[in-house]
Amino acid sequence: MGTQYSYQYPRPAVTTDVVVFTLRDQQLKLLLVKRGRPPFVDMWALPGGFLDIDEDLEACAKRELEEETGIRGVYLEQLYTFGQPNRDPRERVISVTYYALVPSDHIDLRASSDAADADWFSLGQLPALAFDHQEIITLAHQRLVAKLHYSTIAFQFMPETFTLGELQKVYETLRNEELDKRNFRKWILSLGQIEKSGELCKTGNHRPAQIYRLKNPERVEIIK
């Protein structure tokens, strides 16, 4: 206990915070944790925490995400670095923020040490947020919507296999508009990113659908 690490000049603390998006019930949701300690105790905040001294930034984001929510192995991308001098009331904190996309079948929340609770919220119905986390979320949402139009980032929301109807639903939810079925199929197939698995999806009282999968599940391609 105490003050073991000394420097010639004052230093800010460095944290990472992650905006985790998923799609559930045809809605874009994001993950918040309820803070278990001050400041902003009992308020909702983004999962995140302090950088270990020998830890890569992205590794820190992944670690905090897993520790606080149990989520791992998802798409993660650096968003922006926030460093307003007074964004944390305790002291100077620089936050390197990331955003993550989680397939809808991959959600398995578990609260833990730092987080009294964790839950998914619709973007339109967010609670009051700690720090400048509202601003971070707004930026992450803008980036996600922008990337929809010039990359294959939306595929990161899909499970391993899916039908074209399910994929179209995802795009419709994210873009918040209905799309023409024929045009969507022509376009998405022309990208050359998905292929038929050969299997059929026989759920529901209607004609079975072809099941597709990604050719490169890990890669997010730039299109256009």
Binding site for a copy of itself (CB under 8 A): 1-14, 50-51, 53-57, 78, 80-81, 83-85, 92, 94, 96
Site of tokens 């659908």? 209
Cβ-based nearer residue to DNA, 81 or 210: 210
DSSP string, 191-202: TT-EEEEEEEE-
Q: Pick from DNA, a copy of itself, none: which does 9 bind, CB < 5 to 8 A by kind?
A: a copy of itself
Please give the full DSSP string across 21-43, using - where no structure is assigned.
EEEETTEEEEEEEEE-SSSSTTS
Shortest distance, position 165 Cβ to DNA, whole Å? 2
Terminal CA-to-CA distance of the chain, rounded, Å?
55
Q: Which is nearer to a copy of itself, 10 or 198 (CB)?
A: 10
* Of 89, 97, 93, nearest in space to 133 by CA: 97
Phi and psi at 155, nearest 5°, equal -60, -25
Q: Report the distance separating Cα 75 and Cα 60, nearest Å.
A: 14
Do 47 and 112 touch, CB atoms closer than 8 A?
Answer: no
**Taking the complex as a whole, how short is the minimal distance between the CB of residue 105 and DNA, in angstroms?**
17
- Draw the binding track, 160-199, toward DNA (x: CB under 7 A; -: no contact): ---xxxx-------------xxxx-xxx------------
Q: In whole angstroms, how close is the CB of 58 to DNA at the nearest point?
A: 33
Nearer to a copy of itself, 1 or 128 (CB): 1
User: What 8-state DSSP symbol labels residue 83?
Assistant: -
Structure tokens at 219: 């890669």
Cβ 14 to a copy of itself shortest distance, Å: 6
The whole-angstrom separation of Cα 159 and Cα 167 is 10
Instruction: Give the x-and-dash track for 128-167 against DNA (CB under 7 A).
Output: -----------------------------------xxxx-
- In the list a copy of itself, DNA, none, the entry touching 187 (Cβ below 5 to 8 angstroms by class) is DNA
Q: Measured from the CB of residue 209, what is the shortest distance to a copy of itself in angstroms?
A: 34
* Virtual torsion, Cα 194, 100, 119, 12, nearest 10 deg: 180
User: Footprint of DNA on this chain (CB under 7 A)?
Assistant: 163-166, 180-183, 185-187, 202, 204-210, 224
